[in-house]
Chains A and B, each alone.
Chain A
Amino acid sequence: MKQTHSTMGTFRKSAAALCMCAATTFAVSTPAQAKDGQINVMLFAGPIASFTQQNLPAFEKESGIKVNLTIIGGEVINTKTSTELLGSGTSFDVISIRGDSMPFYGTKGVLADLTPYLKNTKLTPADYDLKSVPDALMNFYRWDNKQVGMPWQVASYVTYYRKDLLEAAGLTHPPKTAAEYRDYAQKLNAPPKVYGTGLTMQKSHNLTSEYFQWLSTFGGGVIDSHGKVILDSPEARQALEYYVSLRKFAPEDVTNWAYERLTTALSQGEVAMAVQWTDTAAVMLEPKHSKVAGKMAFAAAPVAKMPAAVIGGWGLNIPESSHNKEDAFKFITWATGPVMSRKVADLGGTPFRTSLLRDKNLSVKFPWFNAQADAEEVAVPRPRTPAWPAIDDAMSTILSRVVTGRLSVDEGVTRMAAAAKKQIGN
């Protein structure tokens, strides 16, 4: 009997270990409702969130508002945000949300309209300088004539290229067109030492975004101005054929590369070029982490038929259910204000204010600032439809099958169009 007990004990211990594992997975707690003079803030993890955290004591001292900060990374924050906002009301007063989700949350009516706060001179500091925030960015966080968020962390697709490798190959300027980009990728492709281009073809929104960049410059789109799905247009077909053709000059495992892995590949000199978001550019300049410091340069994304730069990033939003909206708005004006923006820019964080992006001293120090400013002039937002999260996911599954050769380009565009039509209902 004693031996049986010992067996049961082992089982119990194993079960306890199992429960521990299950309980610790993805456990992100929600704080209690903030008291007066306090706010709960949830930010997307990244350099700007860390910087905001470091500077928080100054804000708390100046404003008298205590900030309970939660920082969450990766896809987890998207799931957390949806469960917080679509449930019975969240205790967060400020949430950073991906810009392309604005139509979705905007339609649900779960985000507060910041327009009255922006117009209120008592709440919006005189030096907030809204004029230096590009319209394209403000519109990115607008839905149904309501300003449902403010830009905070922005990024656009630009070309990252190794100027030393281009020079060695006799290429005198960065690739300006899509055809040139592919030619360059072919010329620079010298595996296993260096590959012509890096790509983010893992089944995720990175894949959809990257394809959407090429789709936009080929003159295509997901929906037209009447809301009709155009994912099977000739332009979409051309864009996908072109995108798939780049894989020949990329490492074989790019079909499992997301944004972070591409950043590593660029900074470790594994790939010569990539069309990538600007918010990882600072990593390239750090000699401690980057083998390409001083060798990486930046230019506008290659153009096929029309200049286009898909715009992305994270905004700061106030849930409609917040009990401390005014304090939350004060936090937003501080975190996105000119002083913090300048501090972020001085450290190499991509600012969203044109005045900083075009600052000559800063653009010498951080060479992608000009490319970002140019990108904002031809900014393309992701489709402005509440169904976008569902379309994005359906597209990523189909695109992943196309880039791994499981589906032809023709089948891919047809299926993407069908999936989008099902979501939109046309």
Chain B
Amino acid sequence: MRDADIERKPPWRRQVFPYVLILPGLIYIAVTTLVPLVYSFWTSLTFNRATSTQPPHFSGVQNYVDVLTDSSFWNAVRVTAIYTGATVAAEMILGTAIALLLIKLTRGRKLVRLLLIIPFSVPPVVIGLMYLLIMDRSYGILNYLLSLVNIGPVSWLSSPEIAIWSVIGVDLWQWTPFVIISAVAALESMPGDVIDAASIDGASSMQMVRWVVLPLIKPVLLVVALTRALTSLKVFDVIFVLTNGGPGSATETLSYMVYVDAFQRFDFGRGAAVSWLLILIAMVVAIPMVRSVLRSDVA
């Protein structure tokens, strides 16, 4: 339709027309996103345990009360917080620092960038299996390398104290390259005249990074941090393959708990309740970050 055709229509039709255009998309989103969300919320308000002889029935907030008074939920919150906090902080610092070094490369930057895509393009299950071998106490290459300098062997995945840090380490390997690539892209898009002006004003390298570069790439870093925080909150596959949530509950995250409740114990009501609590936690984390992103965009 040409612009002139639209302009000839009465004002109310001109206002409605855009909504008509996006209606199929809205319906699609409603069906594929909202309907399952509403259904899962309804499920969270029911007693729906497949191992029970009782048929599913409405139970109000009982699942939420059960979950919130269960120490395993709070353990999962703690593990998820450690996992998300450690991975996001370490990946952002490491990724940005490496990007600042990488941007100085005059040759081979494209090749490095290409290689950096590999870790986060590999399916997490494959990464889990790979690290299961790498971190094996007896046959793993990690302990072999440490043995060359008389360290270890270390029980990477079987010690409750170490296992969570091992899983975090795998996440760093997989996702730091994503931060690097994003930060490099942001650095490359910085206006050159600002950098030149700072140089002329006599800013040192550290001052340049602190007061010029980081503020300029902040919007991109915030979006990356938000993406990483949300994917870390949902981590499941790598833990499923590496530790099954163990030893004990040492690596049991909220997402893993949802899987256990819904698909191991067949308590769909409880699983849905935990997943809604996870959504709430994700919102608590995401909203301030989204606000920061929007504020930095406006700025």
**Chain A residues proximal to chain B, CB less than 8 Å:** 3-4, 6-7, 10-11, 14, 17-18, 20-21, 24-26, 75, 78-79, 82-83, 86, 104, 107-108, 202-204, 251-258, 261, 264-265, 270, 386-390, 393-394, 397, 400-401, 403-404, 406-407, 423, 425
Select one of A6, A397, A403, A407 contacting B189, CB under 8 A.
A6
Q: Tell me, in angstroms, the Cα distance from A26 to B123 when the chains sit together.
A: 9
Q: Tell me, in angstroms, the Cα distance from A363 to B120 when the chains sit together.
A: 50
Whether A203 contacts B155 by the Cβ 8 Å rule is no
Nearest-neighbour CB distance to chain A for B78, whole angstroms, equals 14
- Which residues of the other chain, A, contact B245 by a CB distance below 8 angstroms? 203, 397
Whether B237 contacts A26 by the Cβ 8 Å rule is yes
Whether A203 contacts B121 by the Cβ 8 Å rule is no
Q: Tell me, in angstroms, the Cα distance from A404 to B251 when the chains sit together.
A: 13
Q: A6-B188, A21-B123 are in contact. Are A394 and B248 (CB under 8 A)?
A: no
Nearest-neighbour CB distance to chain B for A21, whole angstroms, equals 6
Between A and B, 10 residue pairs with Cβ closer than 8 Å are A26-B125, A78-B263, A203-B246, A252-B137, A253-B136, A253-B155, A257-B158, A265-B138, A397-B245, A404-B250
B117 at the interface (CB under 8 A from A): yes
Whether B186 contacts A82 by the Cβ 8 Å rule is no
Whether A202 contacts B244 by the Cβ 8 Å rule is yes
Q: Tell me, in angstroms, the Cα distance from A127 to B136 when the chains sit together.
A: 49
Whether A255 contacts B124 by the Cβ 8 Å rule is no
- Which residues of the other chain, B, contact A261 by a CB distance below 8 angstroms? 136
Q: A7-B220, A17-B120 are in contact. Are A256 and B188 (CB under 8 A)?
A: no
Select one of B124, B189, B220, B248 contacting A406, CB under 8 A.
B248
Q: Tell me, in angstroms, the Cα distance from A265 to B185 when the chains sit together.
A: 47
Whether A390 contacts B264 by the Cβ 8 Å rule is yes
**Chain B residues proximal to chain A, CB less than 8 Å:** 49-53, 72, 117, 120-125, 136-139, 155, 157-160, 163, 178, 181-182, 185-186, 188-190, 220, 223, 231, 237, 240, 243-250, 252, 260, 263-267
Most central of A3, A7, A388, A393 by chain B CB within 10 Å: A7
Q: Tell me, in angstroms, the Cα distance from A358 to B53 when the chains sit together.
A: 41
Q: A7-B189, A203-B245 are in contact. Are A386 and B158 (CB under 8 A)?
A: no
Residue ID in chain B nearest A406 by CB atoms: B248
Select one of A251, A386, A400 contacting B53, CB under 8 A.
A386
Whether A108 contacts B121 by the Cβ 8 Å rule is no
Q: Tell me, in angstroms, the Cα distance from A390 to B267 when the chains sit together.
A: 8
Select one of A7, A107, A393 contacting B265, CB under 8 A.
A393
Whether B51 contacts A387 by the Cβ 8 Å rule is yes
Q: Tell me, in angstroms, the Cα distance from A387 to B264 when the chains sit together.
A: 11
Q: Tell me, in angstroms, the Cα distance from A4 to B297 when the chains sit together.
A: 13
Q: Tell me, in angstroms, the Cα distance from A406 to B158 when the chains sit together.
A: 13
Q: Tell me, in angstroms, the Cα distance from A207 to B240 when the chains sit together.
A: 16
Whether A82 contacts B248 by the Cβ 8 Å rule is no
Select one of B186, B248, B265 contacting A390, CB under 8 A.
B265
Select one of A14, A104, A252, A401 contacting B51, CB under 8 A.
A104
Whether A253 contacts B138 by the Cβ 8 Å rule is yes
Select one of A21, A83, A407 contacting B120, CB under 8 A.
A21
- Which residues of the other chain, A, contact B160 by a CB distance below 8 angstroms? 404, 406
Q: Tell me, in angstroms, the Cα distance from A238 to B164 when the chains sit together.
A: 32
Whether A203 contacts B247 by the Cβ 8 Å rule is yes
A-B contact count (CB 8 A): 144
Select one of A21, A203, A404 contacting B244, CB under 8 A.
A203
Select one of A7, A21, A406 contacting B186, CB under 8 A.
A7
Q: Tell me, in angstroms, the Cα distance from A390 to B50 when the chains sit together.
A: 10
- Which residues of the other chain, A, contact B248 by a CB distance below 8 angstroms? 203, 397, 400-401, 404, 406-407
Q: Tell me, in angstroms, the Cα distance from A20 to B122 when the chains sit together.
A: 9
Q: A202-B244, A270-B138 are in contact. Are A401 and B249 (CB under 8 A)?
A: yes
Residue ID in chain A nearest B236 by CB atoms: A25
Whether B181 contacts A10 by the Cβ 8 Å rule is yes
Whether B158 contacts A254 by the Cβ 8 Å rule is yes
Q: Tell me, in angstroms, the Cα distance from A6 to B121 when the chains sit together.
A: 20
Whether B182 contacts A11 by the Cβ 8 Å rule is yes
Q: Tell me, in angstroms, the Cα distance from A394 to B138 when the chains sit together.
A: 29
Nearest-neighbour CB distance to chain B for A258, whole angstroms, equals 8
Q: A14-B178, A21-B121 are in contact. Are A79 and B155 (CB under 8 A)?
A: no
Q: Tell me, in angstroms, the Cα distance from A44 to B185 when the chains sit together.
A: 46
- Which residues of the other chain, A, contact B159 by a CB distance below 8 angstroms? 255, 404
Whether A400 contacts B247 by the Cβ 8 Å rule is yes
Q: Tell me, in angstroms, the Cα distance from A352 to B264 when the chains sit together.
A: 28
Q: Tell me, in angstroms, the Cα distance from A11 to B122 when the chains sit together.
A: 17
Whether A256 contacts B243 by the Cβ 8 Å rule is yes
Nearest-neighbour CB distance to chain B for A299, whole angstroms, equals 26
Residue ID in chain B nearest A423 by CB atoms: B51
Q: A6-B185, A7-B220, A17-B121 are in contact. Are A256 and B263 (CB under 8 A)?
A: no
Q: Tell me, in angstroms, the Cα distance from A18 to B159 when the chains sit together.
A: 31
Whether A202 contacts B121 by the Cβ 8 Å rule is no
Residue ID in chain A nearest B265 by CB atoms: A390
Q: A21-B120, A21-B124, A251-B137 are in contact. Are A10 and B51 (CB under 8 A)?
A: no
- Which residues of the other chain, B, contact A204 by a CB distance below 8 angstroms? 244, 246
- Which residues of the other chain, A, contact B178 by a CB distance below 8 angstroms? 14
Residue ID in chain B nearest A407 by CB atoms: B248
Q: Tell me, in angstroms, the Cα distance from A83 to B189 when the chains sit together.
A: 47
Residue ID in chain B nearest A256 by CB atoms: B158
Q: Tell me, in angstroms, the Cα distance from A4 to B216 when the chains sit together.
A: 12
Q: A14-B181, A104-B51 are in contact. Are A251 and B138 (CB under 8 A)?
A: yes
Q: Tell me, in angstroms, the Cα distance from A314 to B159 when the chains sit together.
A: 32
Q: Tell me, in angstroms, the Cα distance from A280 to B291 when the chains sit together.
A: 56
- Which residues of the other chain, A, contact B158 by a CB distance below 8 angstroms? 202, 252-257, 404
Nearest-neighbour CB distance to chain A for B50, whole angstroms, equals 6
Whether B266 contacts A202 by the Cβ 8 Å rule is no
Select one of B50, B185, B267 contacting A108, CB under 8 A.
B50
Q: Tell me, in angstroms, the Cα distance from A370 to B137 when the chains sit together.
A: 35
For the complex of A and B, the 5 pairs showing the least CB-CB separation, nearest first, are: A203-B246, A3-B189, A256-B158, A401-B248, A253-B158
Whether B120 contacts A255 by the Cβ 8 Å rule is no
Nearest-neighbour CB distance to chain A for B250, whole angstroms, equals 8
Q: Tell me, in angstroms, the Cα distance from A11 to B221 when the chains sit together.
A: 12
- Which residues of the other chain, A, contact B252 by a CB distance below 8 angstroms? 397
Q: Tell me, in angstroms, the Cα distance from A400 to B125 when the chains sit together.
A: 23
